[in-house]
Amino acid sequence: MALEIFKYNRIRFDQLYQDAKDYLTNKFLQVGDVFSPASAYGQLLGVIIDLGKLIFYYVEDSITELNIYTATRDSSIRSLARIAGHNPTRAIAASGTVTISYNGNPIDMYGNTAIIPNYTRIINNATGLTYTVIADSEDIRVQLSGSTTIETKLLQGIVEAQTVTGTGSALQSYNINVKRGSQVDNFFVYVYVNGEKWQTYDSIYDMPYEKKGVVIKTGINAGIDLYFGNGFFGAIPDLGSSIRVEYLSTSGNAGNILEGETTQFAFVDDVYDLAGNVIAINDAVKLNINKPIIFGSDAEPIYLTRILAPKTSRAYVLANSDSYVYFLEKFNIFSVIDAFNTFDDNDLSDDNVVYLFLIPDVNKRKPSNADYFTVPVNLFSLSDAEKNKVYDFIEQSGQKIITTVVKIVDPIVKKYVLNINITAYEGYSKDNVRQQIISKCSDYFLKNRRRDRITK
């Protein structure tokens, strides 16, 4: 019956409505006034057509959101990426080390030992961002006498925690929501069940029998998702058990402190003496950066998730150059990433070497008042500290093949001249035209990713 009423070449809603109206008019031998929009039949027909619209919209939306290349909602893209095995990278906190040393000023305290608890917060007065002291023990003890110096690790961000209650069922899952605008660090997430730390795994199938482990994934909508085992693969948290999640809330790329930047740190949280009294620690110590606080990055943008998900390897092994490109792209730090080997050079001595050509994203490193023509040239390449960070990330991932050697190749910086001939009309400021040329060219070159040529 539907095929007799509707035609495939008339599928717009106004055409469907008109064809349905014409059919009813001819079927019941009635004039058009009977089926006008003001009539009961006309109103019913209008409602049915509107419901049909919603059905078509739903079908179209479902088809669109099932394809990662056509999906429009962020949650749909992340869901499809998770199905493909890709876990979108969360923000990465800037990290480095500082030295804490006595400045010689006497303060009122018991003894001469300052006790700095683990996860103590300090603030960078230049930017207002908070950093957290990360120690290997419950506290750090600094002798406030002589020339004693202690080195400690810093992460940009604040350690936060949430608690949920176990249900006792298999394959328990929980979404840990965070406040709007917060970014959860990609690595600093720890799960404790009844006070006992459980090991983190990439997949439920990686968990041994009754092993106390948990899978941590980036949340599809926000925050992070936790998945526990079923007994055969991983242990099951008991009914009523306390599941505590500690994570680092970070500002990502904004937390980087590049070489030469002015910093003045101050303790935010309390520091104690041996008697447990709070002391004026900021009057007695000075904090200096030892290893640059770098490699902070924002969460993986949705366009990058769309690109990376189809490249996902479920092997979780850095086995070839493509694997290294995929691994490094997730950090959202570099503008150019290339990995290659030299199998074809007839030299067998370096066939186990994977060379990495990495150009950092200058837009995330340059001062706010700098452009392409005034930005320091050294920002286009990685410093020795940044190279060591890359090596550390690769080693700590546990995905590197033992026999493989990774080597970062430095870019060769070349300078060139750009000649621009213009015809200026009278009444325009030459300085204004010049500044606009500089601005437009700077924006183009800072966003350019081509490595073969600069187009005219």
Q: Distance (Å, rounded) from C-alpha 47 to C-alpha 288?
A: 71
Q: Phi then psi for 15, rounded to 5 degrees?
A: -70, -40
279: Cα separation from own chain's centroid:
38
Q: Distance (Å, rounded) from C-alpha 237 to C-alpha 243?
A: 8
* Dihedral over Cα of 430, 432, 436, 442: its sign: positive
Residue found by looking up tokens 């520091």 in the block:
271
Kindly report the CA angle at 356 between 351 and 361, in degrees rounded to 5?
Answer: 175
N-term to C-term CA, the chain:
61
Sheet holding 285-294, edge to edge: 265-267, 121-124, 130-134, 149-156, 95-102, 285-294
Nearest by Cα to 364 from 70, 21, 94, 73: 94
Q: Which two tokens stand for residue 315?
A: 């092997």
Would you state the pLDDT for residue 1?
Answer: 47
3-state percent helix, strand, coil for the chain, nearest multiple of 5: 30, 30, 45
Q: Distance (Å, rounded) from C-alpha 199 to C-alpha 186?
A: 16
Q: Which residues contact 435 (CB under 8 A, 6 or more apart)?
A: none
Secondary structure element (H or E) that encloses residue 446, with its range:
helix 430-447
Would you state the pLDDT for residue 415?
Answer: 84
Q: Which residues contact 375 (CB under 8 A, 6 or more apart)?
A: 362, 366, 367
Would you state the pLDDT for residue 34?
Answer: 64
Q: Phi then psi for 261, rounded to 5 degrees?
A: -75, 145
C-alpha pair distances (Å), 420 with each of 326, 445, 452: 39, 15, 21
Nearest by Cα to 230 from 210, 200, 206: 210
Query: Three-class SS of residue 218?
Result: strand
Would you state the pLDDT for residue 398?
Answer: 81
pTM over 0.85, yes/no: no
Instruction: Please give the DSSP secondary-structure letter assigned to residue 187.
Output: E
pLDDT, one tens digit for every residue, the chain (456 residues): 445 776 777 767 778 778 877 777 777 776 666 666 777 777 777 788 788 778 878 888 888 988 888 898 888 999 988 888 888 999 999 999 999 999 888 888 898 899 999 999 999 998 899 999 999 889 999 988 878 889 999 999 999 999 999 999 999 999 998 888 789 999 999 999 999 999 999 889 889 999 999 999 999 888 899 999 999 999 999 999 999 999 999 999 999 987 777 788 999 999 999 999 999 999 999 998 888 898 899 998 998 899 888 887 766 688 788 888 888 888 888 888 999 888 877 777 777 889 999 999 888 888 888 889 998 888 889 988 889 889 988 888 888 888 888 999 998 888 888 888 888 888 888 888 889 999 999 999 888 888 777 777
Angle, helix 321-329 to helix 384-397, in steps of 10 degrees: 110
